[in-house]
Amino acid sequence: MNQILIVEDDAALGRGLTLALSDGTRVCTLARNCAEARQALQHTSFSLALFDVNLPDGSGLTLLEETRAAGGPPVILLTANDLETDIVTGLTLGADDYITKPFSLAVLRARVEAALRRTTPAKSPAVFRQNGFVFDFDALCFSVNGRALQLSQTEQRLLRLLVDNCGHTVPRDTLIDRIWTDGAEYVDENALSVTVGRLRRKLGTDAPIQTVYGVGYGWAVDR
């Protein structure tokens, strides 16, 4: 689960950023100023931080310097589009990226995803084991109590998302977006229910796939 710190003094924008970036794989913490940001950084190990440059009690650039000196998370700067000096200074101080205001949510999500991909270490080996379930996502070998399973690519993607977020509920919208990546404009939500049903039948009655009605699906930590 990726923890993201958002430092933004505009209350409406801060709430919007939090809603836009929070999903089954990301949790956002909102700080309204440098003081709140420093306190959050002391208590939580964040995967990524977004700093507004102009804050009521200081500069996001100063906060960036402190974060870099302390070995903190990667930082994306949020800055007004007419302040090129902020961008140059920020990159010089070690910012990983910047987004100029105003910006679209699509651009924001893409930049955040790219930053997280660059800083997330590769999982090796990609093998999941739990109570007789063995899923090797590198070798594409899946078994239950020694019994080999044949899973479709769609079922493999669903299974990977569930076990990568073990213990958490992954929203239906997130699953649909991440499973069907062929550029289709519309995917019937029933397709997800059908895929979950097929996967459950293949894994057997002991499969800890949980349905949270109206929200999504999850893989229980243990049973």
CA separation, residue 7 to residues 10, 60, 75 (Å): 9, 8, 11
The average confidence (pLDDT) of the chain is 87
Q: Which CATH superfamily is domain 2-119 in?
A: Response regulator (3.40.50.2300)
Pairing of strands 169-171, 54-55: unpaired
Residue predicted with more confidence, 184 or 30 = 30
Sign of torsion over alpha carbons 213, 217, 220, 223: positive
For the chain, the domains span 2-119, 127-219
Q: What is the mean pLDDT of residues 67-80?
A: 89
Query: H/E/C letters for each residue in the chain?
Result: CEEEEEECCCHHHHHHHHHHHCECCEEEEEECCHHHHHHHHHHCCCCEEEEECEECCEEHHHHHHHHHHCCCCCEEEEEECCCHHHHHHHHHHCCCEEEEECCCHHHHHHHHHHHHHHHCCCCCCCEEEECCEEEECCCCEEEECCEEECCCHHHHHHHHHHHHCCCCEEEHHHHHHHHCCCCCCCCCHHHHHHHHHHHHHHHCCCCCEEEECCCEEEECCCC
The answer to whether residue 39 scores a pLDDT higher than 80 is yes
What fold is seen in the domain 127-219?
Arc Repressor Mutant, subunit A (1.10.10)
Percent above pLDDT 90 for the chain = 51
- Which of 16-25, 36-45, 83-92, 194-203 has the lowest average pLDDT? 83-92
Taking 90 as the threshold, does the pLDDT of residue 40 lie above it?
Answer: yes
Q: Is the model's pTM score more than 0.85?
A: no
Binned at pLDDT 50, 70 and 90, residue 181 comes out as: low
Residue 190 is predicted with a pLDDT of: 85
| Residue 175 to residue 161: CA distance in whole angstroms | 7
